[in-house]
């Protein structure tokens, strides 16, 4: 195979949670551009439909919008049944949906907030990986990509529950790689600061000053810059890579 052919996803089906915006949306378009049909998943159906329609219009690939709250197991079960009834298979699963609510101090974190953060960032990916990974292992195999956070490696006081859940996702990646190998590869992208819609809550002037001083690349990431890493893990280019945690943070560590 020529180098570029390793990244060809023609004939593949990719399911991306949190696929209606941010890094997930970029991955949806990246996979569709590489030839995959895509399943766009988030809580809001209209947002999923908008991305799916755009993906089909711009790439010609089939795109299915599905509303699902990944923190709820019964909805995940329905999502999996819908995906397999529509496409008969899932070759690529991306656990990208996440949430990190703000709080003034650790003692202010309520049980409800704590449970929601772990449900979306860890419990949901566990269930979805368990269901889809089992089918992949029983079929022709596949690739599962978890999307963690640089905060899982260097937690700040303002993201303790989120960082803890994402650290669990890192561990889960390695465990599932062993559970579903050799036919299924399970890897993890650990993004740093990407300039998604989340940045509207940031003090951008302070962030940019800090990035120039502390990041090797001197800036936050453009969301489209996640696509190369996602294509690597999704495709045959990473055929001998599993259980890996790949940090993509512009040298911000």
162 is catalytic: yes
Residue with tokens 């949190």: 18
Going from the C-alpha of 253 to that of each of 89, 153, 188, 192, the distances in angstroms are 38, 9, 17, 9
Active-site residue, selected from the candidate residues 84, 103, 114, 162 = 162
SS3 253: coil
Distance CA 165, CA 122 (A): 6
* Rounded Cα distance, 176 and 250, in Å: 27
Pair 23, 196: CB distance under 8 Å: yes
Q: Measured between alpha carbons, how far is residue 201 from residues 83, 166, 196 in Å?
A: 34, 20, 10
Q: Among all residues, which ones are annotated catalytic?
A: 162
């Amino acid at each position: 195979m020529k180098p570029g052919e390793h990244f060809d996803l023609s004939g593949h089906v990719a399911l991306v949670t949190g696929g209606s915006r941010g890094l997930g949306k970029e991955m949806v378009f990246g996979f569709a551009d590489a030839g995959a049909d895509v399943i766009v998943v988030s809580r809001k159906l209209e947002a999923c439909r908008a991305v799916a329609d755009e993906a089909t219009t711009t790439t010609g690939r089939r795109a299915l919008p599905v509303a699902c709250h990944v923190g709820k197991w019964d909805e995940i079960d329905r999502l999996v049944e819908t995906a397999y009834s529509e496409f008969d298979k899932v070759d690529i699963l991306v656990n990208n949906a996440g949430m990190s609510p703000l709080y003034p101090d650790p003692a202010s974190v309520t049980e409800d907030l704590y449970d929601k953060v772990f449900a979306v960032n860890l419990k949901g990916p566990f269930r979805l990986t368990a269901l889809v990974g089992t089918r992949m292992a029983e079929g022709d195999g596949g690739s599962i990509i978890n999307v963690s956070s640089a905060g899982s490696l260097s937690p700040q006081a303002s993201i303790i529950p989120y960082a803890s859940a994402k650290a669990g996702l890192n561990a889960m990646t390695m465990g599932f790689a062993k559970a579903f190998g050799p036919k299924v590869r399970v890897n993890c992208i650990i993004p740093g600061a990407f300039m998604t819609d989340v940045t509207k809550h940031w003090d951008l002037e302070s962030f940019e000053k800090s990035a120039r001083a502390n990041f090797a690349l001197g800036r936050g990431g453009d969301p489209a810059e996640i696509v190369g890493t996602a294509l690597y893990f999704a495709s045959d280019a990473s055929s001998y890579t599993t259980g890996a945690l790949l940090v993509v943070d512009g040298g911000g560590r």
